[in-house]
């Protein structure tokens, strides 16, 4: 699985983020491998089980004693040998899982986190983040978290690809007068990190995720946050999440980033909350997967959060005595070409055949043509730098694709800043694009259901910390029943029940507001209310 990410990342468990410079995550299960992994279940798991696999030519990877199984790399020949062994009960493919991929970022206010004050004392709930690690030296994250390394290279407290650190910042970036704040910004939530993705942030196996879930449980986690997923389900994985749910854990995962109706796992298991992404206007993101398992939505477009490197992407114009600087975002695969100064020109949509004043810094409006085509147009037309501003409110993420063939700087601005910058056309401007990959305390805006997921995980922990006697089922029902309805009335495949709301969920639990009623044929429970009729067998009649 991969982190549900963009082209920075790979998809067995996949990261669910799209670097704000990235477009859509690569399709799941496309990473070639000579020897896939399989769950091998024995009638009796003992010391000889590993030797049995090795004698057949396999390579044991993860032992799952609770299932009497071992995940192992098997060549086609080894697979056939083991299928014939009477001591083996079953063999099932071990599907991959990928990582899916602020100031107060807009998403924090949108989910009502500031309306639920955190003055409830010591942490009463724990969030376990299964991801690519946690850059513990970042100035804007809590230094007192715990963690472990499940697989891959390095230690859990380092994060070379940034996905896990970005997720963690949305949940709990601290209030310290710099950087961003998270849903839980005051160190009043306990966090445990399990590093399941290696330093390349590419992918891991379903069995790695099952083992990571076990570590979350052992650490006493209440909420498990997973900005990751893959297209294939697993019997073992489903059983693991079902059991965790039965034991009181609330698992939350990214719905996926390929913009299709395909299911993604673990999000699409019934025991896991599947999270879709919306933008700053509360419209479902184009990349967000749409299916019957989508349960709730959260901000996932242009989400500013913590990363373990530093970069500067700015446009400065105005006058020497009254300069105006607009902070932007790095476009993936654009060169960090330093500083470029020239006349600020309005390039409109920056069509491929357009021309510009020689040596200009060109403003381009997003839309119609690809980001790479716009930058190539500016470069071919004589411009020194391309500054692309959004065509909808807020900042955006994007990629120039592999080998875009450009040498000039290219940065992204929000729609608001781009429109303001147009007022300075004709004046001198300087575009700066710098990037230092060395470990450091930086910030970037990313897109993805990976970015939506920690909003929901943070809200669940925030609300639950105010009502620690509640069960995971009650917290889940309250989040669903209090969500702001978006799209088709009631639950739908794009938004689920709607936009997650912290304050309203707490009000539902406190009984001070009536939860939104549910329509005929929609799912219900003892804590939800049908608009008419009754809740029977989990459905409004």
Residue 163 among the catalytic residues: yes
Helix orientation angle between 449-466 and 163-172, rounded to the nearest 10 degrees: 30
What are the b/e assignments for 34-63, b being 16+ CB within 10 Å?
A: eebbbbbbbeebeeebbebbeebbbebbbb
C-alpha to C-alpha distance for 196 and 387, rounded to whole angstroms: 36
Residue 192 among the catalytic residues: no
C-alpha to C-alpha distance for 333 and 314, rounded to whole angstroms: 17
Longest dimension (CA), the chain: 83
Cα angle 77, 82, 86; round to 5: 150
C-alpha to C-alpha distance for 487 and 74, rounded to whole angstroms: 46
C-alpha to C-alpha distance for 58 and 74, rounded to whole angstroms: 5
Q: Catalytic residue among 320, 353, 526, 537, which?
A: 320
Residue with tokens 């697979």: 79
- Closest by alpha carbon to 76, among 95, 96, 56? 56
Tell me the backbone φ, ψ of residue 338, rounded to 5 degrees. Answer: 85, -135
The number of helix segments (H) and strand segments (E) in the chain equals 11, 25
Contacts of 507 (CB under 8 A, 6+ apart): 482, 513
Q: Which residues pair with 434 in a beta bridge?
A: 312
DSSP code, position 8: T
Q: Catalytic residue among 160, 163, 192, 263, which?
A: 163
Answer for the pair 134, 272: CB distance below 8 angstroms, yes or no.
no
Q: Catalytic residue among 94, 131, 477, 507, which?
A: 131
Measuring CA to CA, how many Å separate 190 from each of 111, 166, 168, 216?
A: 20, 17, 12, 12
C-alpha to C-alpha distance for 539 and 468, rounded to whole angstroms: 28
- Closest by alpha carbon to 444, among 398, 405, 408? 398
Residue 494 among the catalytic residues: no
Answer for the pair 386, 375: CB distance below 8 angstroms, yes or no.
yes
What is the set of active-site residues? 131, 163, 320
């Amino acid at each position: 699985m991969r982190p549900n990410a963009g082209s920075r990342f790979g998809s067995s468990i996949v990261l669910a983020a799209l670097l704000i410079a990235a477009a859509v995550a690569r399709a799941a299960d496309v990473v070639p491998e000579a020897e896939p992994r399989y769950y091998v279940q024995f009638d009796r798991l003992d010391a000889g089980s590993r030797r049995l696999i090795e004698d057949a030519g396999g390579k044991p990877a993860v032992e799952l004693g609770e299932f009497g199984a071992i995940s192992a790399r098997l060549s086609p020949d080894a697979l056939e040998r083991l299928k014939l062994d009477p001591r083996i009960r079953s063999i099932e493919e071990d599907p991959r899982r990928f990582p899916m991929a602020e100031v107060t970022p807009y998403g924090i206010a949108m989910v009502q986190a500031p309306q639920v004050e955190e003055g409830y004392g010591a942490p009463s709930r724990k969030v376990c983040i299964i991801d690519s690690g946690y850059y513990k030296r970042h100035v804007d994250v809590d230094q007192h978290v715990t963690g472990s390394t499940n697989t891959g290279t390095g230690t859990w407290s380092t994060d070379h690809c940034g996905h896990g650190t970005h997720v963690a910042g949305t949940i709990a970036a601290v209030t310290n007068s710099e950087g961003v704040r998270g849903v839980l910004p005051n160190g009043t939530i306990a966090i445990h990190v399990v590093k399941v993705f290696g330093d390349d942030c590419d992918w891991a196996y379903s069995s790695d995720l099952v083992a990571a879930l076990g570590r979350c449980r052992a650490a006493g986690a209440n909420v498990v946050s997973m900005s990751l997923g893959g297209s294939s389900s697993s019997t073992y994985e489903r059983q693991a999440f079902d059991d965790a749910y039965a034991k009181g854990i609330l698992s939350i995962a990214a719905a996926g980033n390929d913009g299709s109706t395909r299911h993604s796992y673990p999000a699409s298991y019934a025991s896991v909350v599947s999270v879709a992404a919306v933008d700053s206007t509360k419209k479902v993101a184009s990349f967000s997967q749409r299916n019957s398992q989508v349960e709730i939505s959260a901000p996932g477009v242009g989400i500013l959060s913590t990363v373990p490197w530093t970069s500067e992407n700015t446009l400065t114009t105005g006058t020497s005595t009254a300069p105006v600087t607009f902070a932007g975002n790095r476009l993936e695969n654009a060169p960090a070409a330093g500083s470029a100064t020239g006349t600020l020109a309005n390039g409109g949509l920056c069509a491929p055949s357009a021309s510009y004043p020689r040596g200009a810094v060109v403003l381009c409006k997003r839309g119609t043509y690809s980001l790479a085509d716009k930058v190539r147009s500016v470069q071919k037309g004589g411009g020194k730098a391309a500054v692309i501003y959004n065509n909808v409110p807020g900042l955006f993420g994007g990629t120039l694709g592999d080998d875009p063939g450009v040498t000039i700087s290219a940065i992204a601005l929000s729609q608001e800043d781009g429109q303001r910058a147009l007022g300075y056309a004709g004046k001198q401007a300087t575009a700066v694009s710098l990037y230092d990959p060395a470990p450091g305390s930086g910030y970037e805006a990313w897109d993805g259901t990976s970015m939506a997921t920690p909003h929901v995980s943070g809200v669940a922990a925030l609300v639950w910390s105010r009502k620690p006697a509640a069960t995971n089922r009650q917290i889940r029902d309250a989040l669903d029943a209090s969500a702001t309805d978006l799209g088709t009335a009631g639950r739908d495949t794009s938004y689920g029940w709607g936009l997650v709301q912290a304050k309203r969920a707490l009000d539902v639990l406190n009984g001070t507001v009536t939860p939104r009623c549910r329509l005929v044929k929609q799912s219900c429970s003892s804590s939800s209310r049908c608009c008419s009729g009754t809740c029977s067998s989990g459905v409004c009649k």
